[in-house]
Chain A
Amino acid sequence: MKYLDEFRDSAKARILVTEIEALVATMDVPHGRPLHIMEVCGGHTHSIFRFGIEGMLPKQIELVHGPGCPVCVLPMGRVDDGVNIAERPEVIFATFGDAMRVPGSRKSLIQAKADGADVRMVYSPLDALAIARKNPAREVVFFGLGFETTMPSTALTILQAESEQVANFSVFCNHITIVPTIKAILDSPDLELDGFLGPGHVSMVIGTAPYEFIANFYRKPMVVAGFEPLDILQSIWMVLKQIKEGRTDVENQYARVVPDKGNAAALSAVSRVYELRQFFEWRGLGSIDHSGVKLRDEYKQFDAERKFSIPNIKIADPKSCQCGEVLKGMIKPWQCKVFGSACTPEMPLGALMVSSEGACAAYYQYGGIKQHVAAE
């Protein structure tokens, strides 16, 4: 397909790997550990495993898989709230497929569906709005999930519902924002990071300016990266070049999709519909200030949290689950006590095993565990 195949060319990938090897050979790597480059975004994690990129890199480079999988960081309490809404007899609960199997403390949405709740998988919030138009006697609730990539689509759907006066449509908003989370990671004392691959599709919306603090204040290189193998390899090479040359800049490898200034129409819809929450709870990471958004008062008739009373109880992550340590890059997925035993993609215990963008599911699916065993 156009703009995909060109960025999967294996001859060019080999050249980039050679360049990376040559560059690393001339660098002073930190004493006693490899260079740590974090890919913030779950989409990158997925591509890295799908294309076996870790196996191509020299041993002096280690990729740390960041928290950028919105389904994975959804805390149990919020899943419970969603299940609670979905179980109301008048409700049709519309959700992206990714969120169906995320475990709650009682059940997941797919279990709720099996128990009789009307849970429907949709591709787009616009599909949820269409269900609302077709079913005026029912309440249709869309499970709003994702970072800035999907935040505008939910906002524009709410604006569309407002202009059509669709009264039986609302959003259970769990949209989250990446920048405070990157900051929380950078402030984490037990983390040693040497550079970042920036989230390509979040950046397509917010632009590259919001990351300046990473380069200027935290003095870490940041390269906004595309999702194809050549994009990721080239971005790693660009991070290494910054380290080698002693620079810390925000660079944009993914200029074919990411304008430096972001997307004005999308940002305008976002600021019209949402405001920042004081804090939002993340699975594995705890509460992070200003890391989530909610609907503004002007749109309260579309806010499922205000339309239905929800328990909103904080539920602790399962004790045996080490998703938090994996998310922060402190342990590898296969080092978790329950990886592949009590926690598998079929029966996930932790959220990182649920979505294909979660580090554990990616390791499990693409044979990371085999690679590891072979390496031992």
Chain B
Amino acid sequence: MCLGIPGRIVRIDDAATMLATVDISGVRRQVNIACIVDEEHPVSSCVGDWVLVHVGFAMSRIDEAEAVETLRILTELGEARAELEAIHLSAAHLGGHPA
């Protein structure tokens, strides 16, 4: 109930009661989208949104740019680590200090 599950909005069912159909790993389920709409993001622009669904309510639009950014930081961390290891390894090959 607290973990939620990501899904994609495929259809608006009732704009007045804010009900939409979400595809969650191939399973379709009607959810309430009141918490992810506002003036800047009206009901009509919700189809195609990736949302996090908790107990039948879309509670957050998953921010693609932020997801990419978090992954980028992780990738950079890996590249920096690989670089350091390469430096360390070369030093060992050149007879510096043992690896």
Contacts and interface: CB of A to CB of B under 8 A. Distances in A.
B74 A150 contact: no
Contact of A156 (B32, B62, B73): B32
Contacts of B4: 149, 201
A125 B70 contact: no
A4 B32 contact: no
Contacts of B1: 70, 96, 98, 145-146, 149-150
A19 B34 contact: no
B15 interface: no
Contacts of A43: 2-3
Interface of B: 1-4, 6, 8, 17, 25, 31-32, 34-38, 50, 52, 54-57, 59-60, 62-64, 66-67, 69-71, 73-75, 77-78, 81
Contacts of B67: 3, 6, 256
Interface of A: 1-4, 6-7, 11-12, 15-16, 18-19, 41-43, 46, 68-70, 96, 98, 123-127, 145-147, 149-150, 152-153, 156, 160, 201, 204-205, 227, 230-231, 234, 253, 255-259, 263-266, 269, 357
Considering the complex of A and B, which 6 residue pairs feature the smallest CB-CB distances, nearest first?
A124-B56, A256-B66, A256-B67, A255-B66, A15-B78, A153-B57
A227 B3 contact: yes
A70 B77 CA distance: 36
Contacts of A125: 55-56
Nearest to A42: B2
Contact of B2 (A18, A149, A264): A149
A283 B73 CA distance: 40
A134 B55 CA distance: 20
B80 to A, nearest CB: 9
A24 to B, nearest CB: 15
B43 to A, nearest CB: 12
Given A11-B78, A265-B35, A266-B35, A6 B59 contact: no
A19 B17 CA distance: 48
B59 A3 contact: no
B55 A153 contact: yes
Nearest to A205: B59
14 contacts: A2-B6, A19-B77, A19-B81, A126-B32, A127-B56, A146-B1, A146-B2, A150-B1, A201-B52, A227-B3, A234-B70, A256-B64, A265-B36, A265-B38
B3 A204 contact: no
B6 A4 contact: yes
A43 B64 CA distance: 22
A26 to B, nearest CB: 14
B69 to A, nearest CB: 7
Nearest to B29: A123
A364 to B, nearest CB: 19
B6 A256 contact: no
A69 B74 CA distance: 29
A207 to B, nearest CB: 12
A149 B54 contact: yes
Contacts of A70: 1-2
Contacts of B31: 124
Nearest to A98: B1
Given A15-B78, A269-B34, A153 B54 contact: yes
Contacts of A153: 32, 54-57, 59
Contacts of B50: 2-3
Nearest to B30: A126
A30 B33 CA distance: 47
Contact of B62 (A145, A257, A263): A257
A73 to B, nearest CB: 13
A263 B81 contact: no
Nearest to A145: B1
A269 B32 CA distance: 13
Given A124-B55, A265-B37, 19 more contacts: A2-B8, A12-B75, A15-B81, A18-B81, A42-B2, A46-B3, A98-B1, A124-B56, A126-B32, A149-B1, A153-B55, A153-B56, A201-B3, A230-B74, A234-B70, A253-B70, A257-B62, A263-B59, A266-B35
